[in-house]
Chain A
Amino acid sequence: MDLLNALVAFLNFVVIPAASYGAQLAVGALGVTLIFGILRFSNFAWGDTMAFGTMVVILFTWLFQSLGISIAPLPTALLALPFAILVTSALLLGTDRVVYRFYRKQKAKPIILVIVSAGVMFVMNGLVRIIIGTEEQNFADGGRFLISAADFKAWTGLAEGLAIKGTTAVTLVTALLTMAALFWFLQKTRTGKSMRAFSDNEDLALLSGINPDRVVQVTWVIAAALAVIAGTLYGLDKSFRPFIYFSLLLPIFASAVVGGLGSPMGAVAGGFVVAFSEVVVTYAWKKVLTYVLPASLAPDSLMQLLSTDYKFAVSFSILIIVLLFMPNGLFNKGK
């Protein structure tokens, strides 16, 4: 019984939160890695692109709510996703046309593009703050819990409850569908294949008649979709505050680097590696250990390796370890 309780507590406080956070990071990291693969720079505006997309989702959610449109028990935000993707794609394509294209034609050094993306970050951040303000926005409606802790306890008779929030389920399913669609697109369609070819070897791809402008445009549209989805899932799960999204840059970059920048599969794996390490290291293990260990050995401290304040230190350490020992990432051994 105690072992079962320990298992349930472990699932409830470690596995489920980490899985949902990991899915959000994975979708975000996919965008970073795609942009890196095709456009060959680390996009510092990524966090604010996510914030912008989420803001548009929130605006559409409010519109639908005022019109009385709802897809309960699912959150209205899901209905707003396609519209927000359209708006964000337009923004990113516009940014590319006005800003990035010039440097691409010039074949500027990647670091210049990084600085340019910092400028874009300022603009997007300003836009978000002007349009929606700096306050926290909660836009999650729909079912609160798929399984509530109390129900679970009543069902099983265990002391520990297992709660699955509605947003967790939405996150996992949406992220899974997004990843499946993206991988199908990259592996099976002609455009997807040309994108991979472009990413692997630009010169050869150009030689075989791939239109670089089209590849770049498609990349931005996909990136917009990923930014909107990742940002919305994160916002539904936690809440929306413009400056929080900037600080997501570090775990997202770490995820992309762990799997090897430019590798989509690696980005997904990296997202989960970072999320699980973060939760495992910052979780207070006292509860689980008290169930598992005999009473005489029960811990009296929290058994927390690192306080939750330092969760960024975890992504950072992972980043540094990978950069030092496997600079090409876990999945790019061949390169």
Chain B
Amino acid sequence: MNTRAITLFAGVGMLYVLTGVLLSWNVSLNILILGLLSAIMALGVNMQWGYAGLFSTGIVGSIALGGLAVVFVSGQPVPEAFAAGGWQAIGGLAVAVAGIAAAVAAWAYMAPGRSRNLAVAAILIGFFFLYRGIFDPAVERIEAFDPATHGNIGGFGLNSIWAWPVGGLFAAIAAWAIGKIALGLREDYLAIATLGIAEIVITAIKSEDWMSRGVKNFVSLPRPWPVPYEVEMQADPGFLAFCTNWGLNPTTTSTLAVKGIYIVMFAIVLGLLIWLLERALNSPWGRMMRAIRDNEVSAAAMGKDVKRQHLIIFILGAAVVGMSGAMYVSMLGQLVPGEYTPLRFTFLIWIMVIVGGSGNNWGSVLGGLLVGWLWLIVDNAGPLVMGAITAGMADGPLKVHLVDAAPQLRLLTLGVALLLVLRFSPRGLLPEK
């Protein structure tokens, strides 16, 4: 950390303080929570891009998979629905995976030629119908059970803090599959392929009701340990006594306290990650990764397995992003598939990484906190500011249009900011040393 970094972090800190003083501390802390999560996502993306130069446009997919993990780990168990077809649905999915594995194996072990092509096609088609035959009736039975409140197989009902590593694991598995396919091709192809896999993940979460209740949203997921509920706090005599002692309003204090606990938890995760990443970057492994990024050919000539290292870092980065996705949903307490748009959860994270400084972990954190603040403050302050600007105007369609368009200004602003940084300061606010 040099003076530049300290000044910039202090400046971003001031933004949050000013928000708290001028608007409300509730808003400021809310934005800080999401800013910390964004910083973790940016760290994951920075691993892929800053360490290895891999451009993935599938960030939103990793985040959504992390969110899905919370549903499986902490969703309320629905034993009736599970009994109706849970094992059969899982069996169907297992058949699908086995089919793909069999096709890959046939491709690898058979001699090239027409018979191999036919065999692979036959395996895929056969397994597809087998999978649909097993899977479809199971899903139908699961979704038939009490569709208004359930219609899903439910989860394990565990504390949602357990979902964090599982979210990372889910995203890592998806990254392994896509990395096996698309790493080693042209860089643009990785970008296009990851765009596709993310789209499919989001579609699955939106439409597989048996799993995530789809667009009906999965609500009332439990909070992670040790975050209490405000209502419980307000009923706790000890807490009430504390409030009266200090002359505090129990309602406000409890909301702020809950937010404070989240901030501490997320800050601890962020701190641990940075510590690990900084250690890794300064180890022989980190030097090797940078050598590969800066010159793949010479790194390969030195005997480094470039493709394998790319796959590893791609998986690790996705795992970090997936974990943050799980943290996000466990904090929200619900999975809202409609929220996962590429603009918000892929390209915005990219802007954080690039504006902050690619290849520098502190830069990603700074970018996450700064861009996250910019993005969210518009929701809260945008209409106010636009209202003030247009206050002198006569009421009319133009005024209405301008006030409505205020939240859209941020897309324009952030796009321009990204272009300016790329052009005039391509190494970002906090350049890599």
Identify the A interface with B (CB < 8 A).
41-42, 44, 99, 102, 109-112, 114-116, 118-127, 129-130, 133-134, 243, 246-247, 249-250, 253-254, 257, 305, 307, 309-310, 312-313, 315-316, 319-320, 323-324, 327
Whether, in the assembled complex, B188 has its beta carbon less than 8 Å from a beta carbon of chain A, the answer is yes
Determine whether the beta carbon of A42 is less than 8 Å from that of B192. yes
Determine whether the beta carbon of B196 is less than 8 Å from that of A315. yes
Contact partner of B415 (CB less than 8 A), chosen from A110, A126, A254, is: A126
Q: Which A residues are CB-close (under 8 A) to B404? A: 133
Whether, in the assembled complex, B430 has its beta carbon less than 8 Å from a beta carbon of chain A, the answer is no
Whether, in the assembled complex, B114 has its beta carbon less than 8 Å from a beta carbon of chain A, the answer is no
Nearest neighbor of A318 in chain B, beta-carbon distance:
B196
Q: Which B residues are CB-close (under 8 A) to A42? A: 188, 191-192
Q: Which A residues are CB-close (under 8 A) to B128? A: 305
Whether, in the assembled complex, B230 has its beta carbon less than 8 Å from a beta carbon of chain A, the answer is no
Whether, in the assembled complex, B55 has its beta carbon less than 8 Å from a beta carbon of chain A, the answer is yes
Closest 8 pairs between A and B when the two form their complex, measured CB to CB: A122-B415, A126-B412, A126-B411, A316-B196, A123-B415, A129-B408, A119-B418, A42-B188
Task: Please report the C-alpha to C-alpha distance between residue A313 and residue B415 in the assembled complex, in whole angstroms.
Answer: 29
CB of B260, distance to nearest CB on chain A (Å): 33
Q: Which B residues are CB-close (under 8 A) to A126? A: 408-413, 415
CB of A122, distance to nearest CB on chain B (Å): 3
Q: Which B residues are CB-close (under 8 A) to A133? A: 401, 404-405
Nearest neighbor of A95 in chain B, beta-carbon distance:
B419
Determine whether the beta carbon of B199 is less than 8 Å from that of A316. yes
| Known interface pairs A111-B55, A130-B405; A122-B207 also in contact (CB < 8 Å) | no
In chain B, positions 304-350 with a C-beta closer than 8 Å to chain A are 341-343, 347, 350
Q: Which A residues are CB-close (under 8 A) to B347? A: 118, 121-122
Determine whether the beta carbon of A114 is less than 8 Å from that of B55. yes
Determine whether the beta carbon of B188 is less than 8 Å from that of A110. yes
In chain B, positions 335-389 with a C-beta closer than 8 Å to chain A are 341-343, 347, 350-351, 354
| Known interface pairs A130-B405, A309-B206, A323-B185; A257-B192 also in contact (CB < 8 Å) | yes
Query: Which of B182, B196, B207 has the most chain A CB atoms closer than 10 A to its own CB?
Result: B196
Whether, in the assembled complex, B119 has its beta carbon less than 8 Å from a beta carbon of chain A, the answer is no
Whether, in the assembled complex, B416 has its beta carbon less than 8 Å from a beta carbon of chain A, the answer is yes
Task: Please report the C-alpha to C-alpha distance between residue A102 and residue B55 in the assembled complex, in whole angstroms.
Answer: 21
Whether, in the assembled complex, B4 has its beta carbon less than 8 Å from a beta carbon of chain A, the answer is no
Task: Please report the C-alpha to C-alpha distance between residue A186 and residue B412 in the assembled complex, in whole angstroms.
Answer: 35
Whether, in the assembled complex, B264 has its beta carbon less than 8 Å from a beta carbon of chain A, the answer is no
Chain B interface residue count, CB cutoff 8 Å, equals 45
Determine whether the beta carbon of B203 is less than 8 Å from that of A310. yes
Task: Please report the C-alpha to C-alpha distance between residue A130 and residue B407 in the assembled complex, in whole angstroms.
Answer: 9
Determine whether the beta carbon of A122 is less than 8 Å from that of B411. yes
| Known interface pairs A122-B347, A313-B203, A316-B200; A41-B188 also in contact (CB < 8 Å) | yes
Contact partner of A122 (CB less than 8 A), chosen from B195, B196, B414, is: B414
Contact partner of B207 (CB less than 8 A), chosen from A129, A243, A250, A309, is: A309
Whether, in the assembled complex, B423 has its beta carbon less than 8 Å from a beta carbon of chain A, the answer is yes
Q: Which A residues are CB-close (under 8 A) to B87? A: none
Contact partner of A119 (CB less than 8 A), chosen from B196, B199, B415, is: B415
Determine whether the beta carbon of B412 is less than 8 Å from that of A119. no
CB of A242, distance to nearest CB on chain B (Å): 9
> Can you offer 7 A-B residue contacts whose CB atoms are under 8 A?
A42-B192, A110-B188, A115-B354, A119-B418, A249-B195, A307-B207, A316-B193
Identify the B interface with A (CB < 8 A).
53, 55, 57, 128, 181-182, 185-189, 191-193, 195-197, 199-200, 203, 206-207, 341-343, 347, 350-351, 354, 401, 404-405, 408-416, 418-419, 422-423
| Known interface pairs A126-B412, A324-B181; A250-B418 also in contact (CB < 8 Å) | no
CB of B222, distance to nearest CB on chain A (Å): 29
Task: Please report the C-alpha to C-alpha distance between residue A319 and residue B193 in the assembled complex, in whole angstroms.
Answer: 8
Determine whether the beta carbon of B200 is less than 8 Å from that of A116. no
Nearest neighbor of A42 in chain B, beta-carbon distance:
B188
Q: Which B residues are CB-close (under 8 A) to A319? A: 192-193, 196
Nearest neighbor of B423 in chain A, beta-carbon distance:
A102
Determine whether the beta carbon of B197 is less than 8 Å from that of A316. yes
Determine whether the beta carbon of B411 is less than 8 Å from that of A246. no
| Known interface pairs A114-B55, A116-B419, A324-B181; A313-B200 also in contact (CB < 8 Å) | yes
Contact partner of A120 (CB less than 8 A), chosen from B350, B408, B419, is: B419
CB of A205, distance to nearest CB on chain B (Å): 22
| Known interface pairs A120-B415, A122-B418, A323-B181; A309-B191 also in contact (CB < 8 Å) | no
Contact partner of A127 (CB less than 8 A), chosen from B199, B342, B410, B412, is: B412
Task: Please report the C-alpha to C-alpha distance between residue A250 and residue B198 in the assembled complex, in whole angstroms.
Answer: 11
Q: Which B residues are CB-close (under 8 A) to A110? A: 186-188
Determine whether the beta carbon of B411 is less than 8 Å from that of A125. yes
Contact partner of A44 (CB less than 8 A), chosen from B185, B191, B405, is: B191
Task: Please report the C-alpha to C-alpha distance between residue A307 and residue B186 in the assembled complex, in whole angstroms.
Answer: 31
Task: Please report the C-alpha to C-alpha distance between residue A128 and residue B3 in the assembled complex, in whole angstroms.
Answer: 41
Nearest neighbor of B207 in chain A, beta-carbon distance:
A309
Q: Which A residues are CB-close (under 8 A) to B181? A: 320, 323-324
Q: Which B residues are CB-close (under 8 A) to A310? A: 200, 203, 207
Q: Which A residues are CB-close (under 8 A) to B405? A: 129-130, 133
Determine whether the beta carbon of A118 is less than 8 Å from that of B350. yes
Determine whether the beta carbon of B341 is less than 8 Å from that of A243. yes
Task: Please report the C-alpha to C-alpha distance between residue A129 and residue B182 in the assembled complex, in whole angstroms.
Answer: 33
Determine whether the beta carbon of B419 is less than 8 Å from that of A129. no
Task: Please report the C-alpha to C-alpha distance between residue A327 and residue B192 in the assembled complex, in whole angstroms.
Answer: 13
CB of B342, distance to nearest CB on chain A (Å): 7
Task: Please report the C-alpha to C-alpha distance between residue A307 and residue B188 in the assembled complex, in whole angstroms.
Answer: 29
Q: Which A residues are CB-close (under 8 A) to B189? A: 257, 323
Determine whether the beta carbon of B187 is less than 8 Å from that of A111. yes
Determine whether the beta carbon of B412 is less than 8 Å from that of A123. yes
CB of B429, distance to nearest CB on chain A (Å): 16
| Known interface pairs A129-B411, A324-B181; A309-B343 also in contact (CB < 8 Å) | no
Contact partner of A118 (CB less than 8 A), chosen from B408, B416, B418, is: B418
